[in-house]
Amino acid sequence: MTTDTSTTPRQTASPGRPFARGLMPAPLPVQFLDELGHRVRVFNDDYPEPSSQQLVAAYSAMVLGRRFDTQATALAKQGRLAVYPASRGQEACQIGSMQALSPDDWAFPTYRDSMALVTRGLDPVEVLTSPHGAAHCGYDPRANRTAPQCTPLATQLLHAVGFASGEQRRGRPTVAMAFVGDGGTSEGDFHEALNFAAVFKAPVVFLVQNNGYAISVPLSKQTAAPSLGYKGIGYGIASEQVDGNDAMAVLAVLNKAVAHARSGQGPVLVEAHTYRIDAHTNADDATRYRDSDEVDDWVRRDPITRLEAWLRHAGLIDDAFVASAAARAEAFAADLRDRLAADLDVDPMSLFANVFATPTPQLLEERAMVQAELEAEEASR
Amino acid sequence: MTLTTAAHSGTPAPAPAPAPQQVTMSAAINRALRDAMTADPDVVLFGEDVGTLGGVFRVTDGISRDFGEDRCFDTPLAEAGIVGFAVGMAMAGFRPVIEMQFDAFAYPAFEQIASHVAKMRNRTQGRVNLPIVIRIPFAGGIGGVEHHCDSSEAYYAHTPGLKVVTPATVEDAYVLLREAINDPDPVIFMEPKRLYWSRGSIPAASAVQAPRFDSFGHAAVRREGTDVTLVAYGPSVDVAIQAASAATESGWSVEVVDLRTLVPFDDETVVASVRKTGRCVVIQEAQGFAGVGSEIAARVQERAFHSLQAPVLRVAGLDIPYPPPKLEHLHLPGVERVLDAIARLQWDDEPDTRFLTSAHSGGDS
């Protein structure tokens, strides 16, 4: 490991080049920036450094994403949202995953990836529609090229594989970014998804955000594997592990992973080592299963301050830029607060609208019953 | 798999010219699959052993050869994987027709079916629909070993968002499968294993080329009668028809209603028949407790109470794990058990005494 605080010349991107270690992940997580934002070399020779433009954009998006996330947590605590699973601390993964994609690619997120969806450009109010009180995902998956946020863990990975394979069969260069956490790697669907993806050479990037806990259960009780990145090897999938709080490393690895998948060489599995700074949701009490020293230790590895230090050092941003990024984030949060101030208006008849394309006679009877009850209630007021 | 657009580029080898003929149900399903694939290049088949082998029941025989491996292919042996993959394929615009090799082997896929296949339309405000057909060879009567003879229809019928279809005739196997593949919503297509080798006609060529999609939610009166209505579906329809024939010897005129689709359910035809006959027996091969037959019995009593001369009775499988081959005749509803039920339909307007003695007073005291 060497420290190099000068700007490293950018390597020529070679998206078709296979991963240097074949299927094996690096022995340690790939890193470009240490915890102080110093440029280091930790198993990163295989990865072209992201462009300055991409890194500056990542910084702005992380600042915005964190402000969105803390605002959503606040709204949940105020009762404006039924629940909010925060991703504070995971900004590098949330932003990096979306910046590595092209607009025509698809994302298959979990409930904890709201920040990624906002980064993708989805309307934050639509992203939060479900916890705001709807029975649907809020956004148009087709228009936004983003599958509904998935709650049954790892189940949507298979959808990503089938979708990517379908796009490939149609001759379209679409890549699917499929999200899962450390806990989700224990689910059977995770393993079936890896296997199907490998067998069909589906252009999927599986991003495992290892944030240390599945609600309260630590990684040590989840797996005996040396790294979750190793789980790809047995399926014949090129795998990697990366410092998930190093935005430069996350971007570098995912840029390559997406290019690899797009070039028809098959899926890639990336484990990003990160940490869930907040509790599982606003309804969870994390002090019951982890101590504050551990949390403090991870706060010191903050992905935003780390990238900010590097960008300042490299002369790519200055105080004015930082201030304007913060101001944009504040305005974004204020707008979100305003737009979520009112209760969501849900039409009772919507209960029956999308069970089938055409409601069954039984559903029509039930709808008529509810309609009559509501009219009677209205009349008695 | 190739990276080409083979799914759209090749013209599949033409299937033999359709002509009305006596075929097995297995062949009728094969024909329906071929005709649907010819009509729509987005129809794809996949599952375990459906490619080169043609399926363990040979239902997909020759399809991979004739349409190419892009249209009909084998998958790894993982049912949740197959269903989840189909969800993604459907999101990409395909119409997957997938096979679960046997009823009980579909259980690993239950989460995908219940949480995603059934709910995607609702979860996306109708923006993403999943035109998937999940073919499940089901039920018993073939002397199968354990895990090969389950009647699993109630699990699916109980799940909002799924259509549940089961043919009882060769013609219906063709007609209902074509309609299932054409349907914008997911369909659980349950094929009675023991009818795979039954023979009948498929529709005439004109109906094959321009099929009418109007069978879902429409039960069929398979035999008309005036005294009793037997309601059945799938493998039990034949039992009902045989029982109806045998009942004439006792002077009973028995009507047989074949539901064809459990979801959507045809209350109208069932209730119209019971209003006419005044008596009803529901037959199902599945274990009886909390089954589809119980739902039908409840619906009939809610909707035709004043027409009923007797309680609606059920003849169902026993509430046991599927029995060994030598004992399955005791489990499966047979003609005798149906006739016994008909005999209990209050013909003399006397109370049925069998339930008057409670377990507590009828013991060894």
Question: Is B357 a member of any domain?
Answer: no
Structure tokens at A306: 């780390």
Confidence band, pLDDT 50/70/90 cuts, at residue A11: very low
Residue ranges of A 309-328 with Cβ closer than 8 A to chain B: none
Confidence band, pLDDT 50/70/90 cuts, at residue B352: confident
On the question of pLDDT at A60 being above 70, the answer is yes
Q: Tell me the average pLDDT across A133-142.
A: 96
Average pLDDT over chain B, rounded to an integer: 93
Give me the CATH number covering residue A192.
Answer: 3.40.50.970
Q: Do A328 and A357 share a domain, yes or no?
A: no
Q: Tell me the average pLDDT across A233-261.
A: 97
Q: Do A212 and A278 share a domain, yes or no?
A: yes
Q: Are B78 and B96 in contact (CB under 8 A)?
A: no
Q: Which residues of B touch A145 (CB under 8 A)?
A: none
Which of B92, B125, B126 is closest, CB to CB, to A166?
Answer: B92
CA distance B318 to chain A (A): 29
Rg (CA), chain B: 21
Q: Are B47 and B99 in contact (CB under 8 A)?
A: yes
What are B258-277's pLDDT values in tens digits? 999 999 999 999 999 999 99
Q: Are A65 and A93 in contact (CB under 8 A)?
A: no
What does the alpha-carbon distance between residue A70 and residue A289 come to, in Å, rounded to a whole number?
22
Which of B88, B126, B268 is closest, CB to CB, to A162?
Answer: B88
Which of B111, B127, B265 is closest, CB to CB, to A141?
Answer: B127
DSSP tag of B250? G
Q: Do B132 and B239 share a domain, yes or no?
A: no
Give me the CATH number covering residue B322.
Answer: 3.40.50.920
Reported ipTM: the value is 0.95
Q: Do B105 and B172 share a domain, yes or no?
A: yes
Q: Do A254 and A366 share a domain, yes or no?
A: no
Q: What share of chain B is helix, strand, coil (3-state, %, to 5)?
A: 40, 20, 45
Q: Do A158 and A56 share a domain, yes or no?
A: yes
Catalytic residue, candidates A191, A230, A289, A367: A289
β-strand partners of B18: none
Looking at the complex, does the CB of residue A354 fall below 8 Å from at least one CB of chain B? Answer: yes
Structure tokens at A175: 């890549």
pLDDT of amino acid B223: 98
Q: At what angle do helices A247-262 and A91-99 cross, to 10 degrees?
A: 30
Which of A163, A189, A264 is closest, CB to CB, to B92?
Answer: A163
On the question of pLDDT at B282 being above 80, the answer is yes
Catalytic residues of B: 148
CA distance B348 to chain A (A): 35
What are A84-102's pLDDT values in tens digits? 999 999 999 999 999 999 9
β-strand partners of B24: B199
Mutate to test the interface with A, among B124, B128, B265 (most CBs of A within 10 A): B124
Q: How far is CA B261 from the centre of its chain?
A: 7
Looking at the complex, does the CB of residue A168 fall below 8 Å from at least one CB of chain B? Answer: yes
This prediction has a pTM of 0.94
pLDDT of amino acid B1: 36
Q: Whose CA is closest to B299, among B318, B273, B332, B319?
A: B273
What does the alpha-carbon distance between residue A43 and residue B249 come to, in Å, rounded to a whole number?
86
On the question of pLDDT at A2 being above 90, the answer is no
pLDDT of amino acid B13: 55
On the question of pLDDT at A31 being above 90, the answer is yes
Q: Do A155 and A279 share a domain, yes or no?
A: yes
Q: Do A92 and A182 share a domain, yes or no?
A: yes
Q: Do B225 and B204 share a domain, yes or no?
A: no
What are B159-175's pLDDT values in tens digits? 999 999 999 999 999 99
On the question of pLDDT at B16 being above 70, the answer is no
pLDDT of amino acid B204: 80
Could you list the residue range(s) of the whole structural domain that residue A364 is in? 348-379
Q: Are residues B161 and A353, on separate chains, in Cβ contact within 8 Å?
A: no
Q: Do A200 and A261 share a domain, yes or no?
A: yes
Q: Which of A179-188, B13-22, B306-315 has the lowest mean pLDDT?
A: B13-22
What does the alpha-carbon distance between residue B76 and residue B70 come to, in Å, rounded to a whole number?
15
What are A258-276's pLDDT values in tens digits? 999 999 999 999 999 999 9
Q: Are A193 and A160 in contact (CB under 8 A)?
A: yes
**Three-state helix/strand/coil letters over chain A:** CEECCCCCCCCCCCCCCCCCCCCCCCCCCEEEECCCCCEEEECCCCCCCCCHHHHHHHHHHHHHHHHHHHHHHHHHHCCCCCCCCCCCCCHHHHHHHHHCCCCCCEEECECCCHHHHHHHCCCHHHHCHHHHHCCCCCCCHHHHCECCCECCCCHHHHHHHHHHHHHHHCCCCCCEEEEEECHHHHCHHHHHHHHHHHHCCCCEEEEEEECCEECCEEHHHCCCCCCHHHHHHHHCCEEEEEECCCHHHHHHHHHHHHHHHHCCCCCEEEEEECCCCCCCCCCCCHHHCCCHHHHHHHHCCCHHHHHHHHHHHCCCCCHHHHHHHHHHHHHHHHHHHHHCCCCCCCCHHHHHCCCCCCCCHHHHHHHHHHHHHHHHHHHCC
Looking at the complex, does the CB of residue A155 fall below 8 Å from at least one CB of chain B? Answer: yes
Q: Cis ω on the peptide bond leading into residue A173 (within 30° of 0)?
A: no
Q: Do A306 and A353 share a domain, yes or no?
A: no
Q: Are A71 and A340 in contact (CB under 8 A)?
A: no
What are A313-358's pLDDT values in tens digits? 999 999 999 999 999 999 999 999 999 998 889 999 999 999 999 9
Confidence band, pLDDT 50/70/90 cuts, at residue B362: very low
Please say which residue of B188, B209, B230 terminates a domain.
Answer: B209
What are B199-249's pLDDT values in tens digits? 999 988 777 888 889 999 999 999 999 999 999 999 999 999 999 999 999
On the question of pLDDT at B365 being above 70, the answer is no
| Neighbouring residues of B259: CB distance < 8 A, sequence distance ≥ 6 | B166, B219, B231, B232, B233, B265, B266, B270, B296
Count how many domains chain A has: 2
Q: Which of A126-140, A151-165, B4-18, B218-232 has the lowest mean pLDDT?
A: B4-18
Q: Do B275 and B229 share a domain, yes or no?
A: yes
Q: Do B333 and B308 share a domain, yes or no?
A: yes
On the question of pLDDT at B250 being above 70, the answer is yes
Q: Do B35 and B169 share a domain, yes or no?
A: yes
Rg (CA), chain A: 22
How many residues are recorded in chain A? Answer: 381
Q: Do B302 and B184 share a domain, yes or no?
A: no
| Neighbouring residues of B60: CB distance < 8 A, sequence distance ≥ 6 | B30, B33, B45, B50, B51, B54, B72, B99
Please say which residue of B209, B238, B261 terminates a domain.
Answer: B209
Strand A204-210 and strand A268-273: the pairing is: parallel
pLDDT of amino acid A6: 41
Looking at the complex, does the CB of residue A190 fall below 8 Å from at least one CB of chain B? Answer: no
Structure tokens at A39: 């440029």
Q: Do B144 and B279 share a domain, yes or no?
A: no
Q: Do B159 and B296 share a domain, yes or no?
A: no
Q: Do A70 and A133 share a domain, yes or no?
A: yes
Question: Is B356 a member of any domain?
Answer: no
Q: Do A57 and A170 share a domain, yes or no?
A: yes
- The count of CB pairs under 8 A between chains A and B is 152
Q: Which residues of A touch B123 (CB under 8 A)?
A: 135-137, 148
Could you list the residue range(s) of the whole structural domain that residue B61 is in? 6-209
What does the alpha-carbon distance between residue A164 and residue A172 come to, in Å, rounded to a whole number?
9
pLDDT of amino acid B210: 82
Structure tokens at B49: 């052993």
Q: How far is CA A271 from the centre of its chain?
A: 12
Q: Which residues of A touch B86 (CB under 8 A)?
A: 162
Catalytic residue, candidates A39, A132, A276, A301: A276
Q: Do B49 and B159 share a domain, yes or no?
A: yes
Q: Do A274 and A303 share a domain, yes or no?
A: yes
Q: Do B148 and B170 share a domain, yes or no?
A: yes
Count how many domains chain B has: 2
β-strand partners of A207: A179, A270
Q: Are residues A354 and B122, on separate chains, in Cβ contact within 8 Å?
A: yes
Q: Do B97 and B227 share a domain, yes or no?
A: no
Confidence band, pLDDT 50/70/90 cuts, at residue B122: very high
Q: Which of A30-39, A59-68, A246-255, B343-352 has the lowest mean pLDDT?
A: B343-352
Q: Do A269 and A372 share a domain, yes or no?
A: no
Residue B335 has φ and ψ, to the nearest 5°, of -55, -45
A191 has catalytic annotation:
no
pLDDT of amino acid A14: 47
Helices (H) and strands (E) in chain B, counts: 14, 14
What does the alpha-carbon distance between residue A63 and residue A115 come to, in Å, rounded to a whole number?
11
What does the alpha-carbon distance between residue B309 and residue B295 come to, in Å, rounded to a whole number?
19
Confidence band, pLDDT 50/70/90 cuts, at residue A3: very low
